[in-house]
Amino acid sequence: MNHAAGAGLLNPNAQLKVGNDTIFAWWARYQDAVKQGADAVNGTIGALLEDDGTLAINKVVDQAVRTAPPVEIAAYAPLKGLPAYLDLAKTLALGDHRTSLEAYGFSMTATATPGGSGALFLAAANFANPGEKVLLRDRHWGPYKGFLSGCGLEPEVYALLPENNDSLHPFVDIEDFRKKLGTMCSKQDKVMIWLNDPAHNPTGLSLTPNGRSALLEAVMESASSNENVGHTLLLDSAYHLYADEPHGWGQTILDSVEAGWPWPENLLITFALSLSKSHTIYGLRTGALVSLHPDEEVTERIGTVMGVTGRQTWSAAPRVAQFTVSEMHASIEGGKAWGLERDRLQALLVSRRSRLIEACERLNVPLNPTHDGFFAWLEHDEPQRIAEACAEQNVFLVPLTGGVRIGLCAIPLEHITRVAEALAVALT
């Protein structure tokens, strides 16, 4: 393709937008293999499938959406979102810890967004200065870079795992994190951290309580030591309701408050929520950005800014899921029924992950630590070669920077061992 085509019509930023999405390209390869009659395994997409290969749908949510009044389907939502939904979003972010944090004087604001992607966009557009960097793990969801570049930002990365086998917090390199954060503070008057935890995409890694505490302490110390630098810790919670500790960050924040840690005025914690996975309504594009700060004036101002940004970007987020999900959770019976279905879907992931870990250990496949959510990960310097070798065995995975993503969400339990076997062959 001639990338100069359309140069007279497209602005310079638009002309940089080239290429295809890697995940969808490998999904297409899986589909082509099936069309050609292959007994292929799909470990590519990030949607939860039943063991028979059909899309997993929480039946309670589906029923609520199908019985919504016509006006709740057809009408606009308020620009910031339906009040009941915004209240629910705060609880989905923090769980039972919300009430305790409010009792300590913390204020919260929420803005409805078109999926978790909308929440990420709001953060990228407002919490960092164009031309500056945002701190990410060196293994992260690829589209992060697109959200950042679209807002004139660049990624800075720290190591996913420590090199020294840190037994206290083995799943976060605190020293590298502190170093990179310190460097950014010396060059920028705003720093933002994007942390997809728990149930990290693409690894399925979740921080331990000690790891969360160490990372939060590092951010708070940095904010206290750099009073003129605004600090925003964004917790990407796209998969958190499938984790063993879905509200672990709420607990960690509360622990810090109860321990008497002084909260810096220049520190904001914000959650990017998505109902796509937790409520299996991917296509209804419903999420929220929930922000937490001890000063109500700060959260009110943030709420105004996010509402205006949304208005200028997508107008209002879709209404129907906001209405149906908030109504469902307002009912004890509805919330319990949703939870039972969510537990069933979570069990699919747990059984697949357990089988993959067991098979990889037996076959000496060096799978990365993986705990929760939709994915597992194989670190490798040649991910394309590994993925191609697996594809030759009709096992389709996704090569990304630094390794291969294994979509447990899409792989039937009976095919999990085939994935481990394919990886073992690819590594020889």
What does CATH list as the number for 12-58+336-427?
A: 3.90.1150.10
* Each residue's pLDDT tens digit, 312-324: 999 999 999 999 9
Give the angle 107-111-115 at the CA atoms, nearest 5°.
Answer: 135
**CA separation for the pair 272, 120 (Å, rounded):** 6
- Which residue reads 């908030």 in tokens? 326
Contact 95, 253 (CB under 8 A): no
Q: Check residue 2 and give its pLDDT.
A: 54
CA 391 vs CA 19, 103, 420: distances in Å: 21, 54, 13
Helix (H) or strand (E) holding 155, with range, is: strand 154-158
Helix (H) or strand (E) holding 134: strand 133-137
Each residue's pLDDT tens digit in the chain (428 positions)? Answer: 455 778 789 888 788 787 678 999 999 999 999 999 999 999 999 999 999 999 999 999 999 999 999 999 999 999 999 999 999 999 999 999 999 999 999 999 999 999 999 999 999 999 999 999 999 999 999 999 999 999 999 999 999 999 887 778 889 999 999 999 999 999 999 999 999 999 999 999 999 999 999 999 999 999 999 999 999 999 999 999 999 999 999 999 999 999 999 999 999 999 999 999 999 999 999 999 999 999 999 999 999 999 999 999 999 999 999 999 999 999 999 999 999 999 999 999 999 999 999 999 999 999 999 999 999 999 999 999 999 999 999 999 999 999 999 999 999 999 999 999 999 999 99
SS3 category, 207 = coil
The answer to whether 12-58+336-427 and 77-318 have equal CATH topology is no
**Rounded to whole angstroms, how far apart are CA atoms 371 and 356?**
12
Q: Can you give the residue ranges of every domain in the chain?
A: 12-58+336-427, 77-318
The CA radius of gyration of the chain, in Å to the nearest whole number, is: 22
CATH for 77-318 is 3.40.640.10
CA torsion through residues 223, 226, 228, 230, sign: negative
Length of the chain in terms of residues written? 428
